[in-house]
């Protein structure tokens, strides 16, 4: 059964609800509601009502009362008559009759603009939608294929770049290798031609660095063992700068694009020349550093010149290698 207090399903033999602990041993007599209801809509009817106040249909009370008077049978013959029935309605009173939808369509309204067909779009709206779609697609295609900015599809670099660290001294304003304009705008170089120019520029820079190394070595033998510390410091700073420039040039050669393989051997030769220069400068740099450790460098000549040789033999060996191979390893067109 169902608990009358909390609505829980409980065993029929329970005397107390296990959910709400209500006492189920007591019974309460619920008064029965007296009255009548409309069989059509279920509305409550007042005693003696002949018509439902909600739906207007005759009530069972009205149909249960006998009527008297003359009746006509289905055959058209009269039946027994009796006193007229008083239904409590005044003359001219009418009851509300529920509306019944007719299956026959009503007359068309002149303001509707014609018949409306289900699921059939208006031809005018369909034409406007198609025209708008064609205009949108055509405009998009025209904008993509013919941009208003003539340079919108130009892929050439326009920003100045410092390429001194990549083997190209100075500023480059525009990359010539990516020109896609007409042939009359300028000469378009191939990848091998660009590689050859970069390697030839690096080969010339190696010669300039070699002359600076020679000058620094002569300066060491003049000032490196003197008692003037400022002159020795200047020589050491100059040696340090030359070492940095040689290292930068070696990095620039290694960054040249030789993927085609045409000038790969030339790039390796230039890297070897650069390493000989750097080894020579490392020895000179160490000699300058040791010179500044002593107030009287002349008395410590053997210690100071240990990295280059007391007679310069170590430094001269790298110089000999460089001089012997420099001209032979000049990059040329292939």
Report CA dihedral (189, 194, 200, 204) to the nearest 10 degrees.
100
How large is the C-alpha radius of gyration of the chain?
A: 57
pTM of the model: 0.45
DSSP state of 111: G
Residue 98 tokens, joined: 């529920």
Helix (H, G, I), strand (E, B) or coil at 150: coil
Question: Which long-range contacts (C-beta less than 8 Å, at least 24 apart) are formed by 257-265?
Answer: 257/191, 257/194, 257/195, 258/195, 260/191, 260/192, 260/195, 262/192, 262/195, 262/334, 263/192, 263/195, 263/196, 263/199, 263/331, 263/334
Domain boundaries, the chain: 191-326
Burial class (CB in 10 A: 0-12, 13-18, 19+), 197: middle
Structure-token pair, residue 100 = 């019944």
Phi-psi region of 92 (alpha: psi -120 to 50; beta: other; left: phi over 0): left
Beta strand segments in the chain, E: 36-37, 44-45, 161-162, 171-172
Three-state secondary structure call for residue 158 = coil
Q: What are phi and psi of 249, to 5 degrees?
A: -70, -40
Q: For each of the chain's 334 residues, which pLDDT tens digit applies?
A: 788 888 788 888 888 888 888 887 765 555 556 677 788 887 787 777 788 888 888 877 665 555 444 444 444 444 444 444 444 444 444 554 555 544 555 555 555 555 555 566 688 888 888 999 999 888 887 777 766 665 666 666 666 666 655 555 555 555 555 444 444 455 667 788 899 999 999 999 999 999 999 999 999 999 888 888 899 999 999 999 999 999 999 999 999 999 888 999 999 999 999 999 999 999 999 999 999 999 888 888 888 888 888 777 888 898 899 999 999 999 999 8
Q: Which residue has the tokens 């160490």?
A: 286
């Amino acid at each position: 059964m169902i608990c009358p207090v909390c609505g829980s399903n409980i065993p029929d033999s329970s005397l107390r609800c296990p959910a709400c602990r209500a006492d189920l041993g007591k019974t309460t007599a619920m008064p029965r509601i007296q009255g009548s209801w409309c069989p059509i809509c279920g509305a409550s009817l007042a005693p003696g009502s002949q018509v439902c106040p909600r739906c207007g249909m005759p009530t069972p009370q009205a149909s249960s009362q006998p009527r008297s008077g003359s009746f006509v049978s289905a055959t058209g013959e009269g039946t027994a008559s009796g006193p007229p029935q008083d239904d409590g309605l005044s003359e001219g009173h009418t009851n509300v009759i529920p509306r019944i939808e007719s299956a026959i369509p009503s007359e068309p309204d002149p303001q509707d603009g014609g018949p409306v067909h289900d699921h059939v779009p208006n031809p005018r709206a369909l034409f406007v939608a198609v025209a708008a779609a064609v205009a949108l697609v055509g405009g998009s295609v025209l904008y993509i294929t013919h941009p208003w900015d003539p340079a919108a599809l130009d892929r050439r670099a326009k920003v100045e770049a410092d390429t001194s660290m990549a083997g190209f001294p100075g500023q480059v304003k525009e990359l010539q290798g990516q020109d896609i304009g007409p042939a009359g705008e300028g000469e378009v170089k191939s990848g091998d031609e660009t590689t050859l120019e970069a390697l030839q520029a690096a080969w010339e820079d190696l010669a300039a660095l070699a002359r600076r190394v020679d000058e620094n070595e002569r300066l060491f033998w003049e000032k490196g063992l003197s008692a003037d510390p400022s002159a020795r410091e200047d020589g050491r700073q100059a040696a340090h700068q030359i070492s940095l420039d040689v290292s930068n040039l070696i990095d620039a050669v290694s960054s040249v694009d030789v993927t085609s393989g045409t000038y790969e051997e030339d790039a390796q030769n230039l890297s070897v020349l650069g390493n000989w220069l750097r080894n020579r400068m490392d020895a000179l740099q160490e000699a300058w550093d040791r010179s500044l450790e002593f107030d009287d460098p002349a008395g410590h000549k053997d210690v100071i010149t240990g990295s280059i040789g007391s007679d310069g033999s170590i430094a001269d060996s790298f110089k000999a290698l460089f001089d012997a191979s420099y001209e032979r390893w000049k990059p040329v067109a292939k």
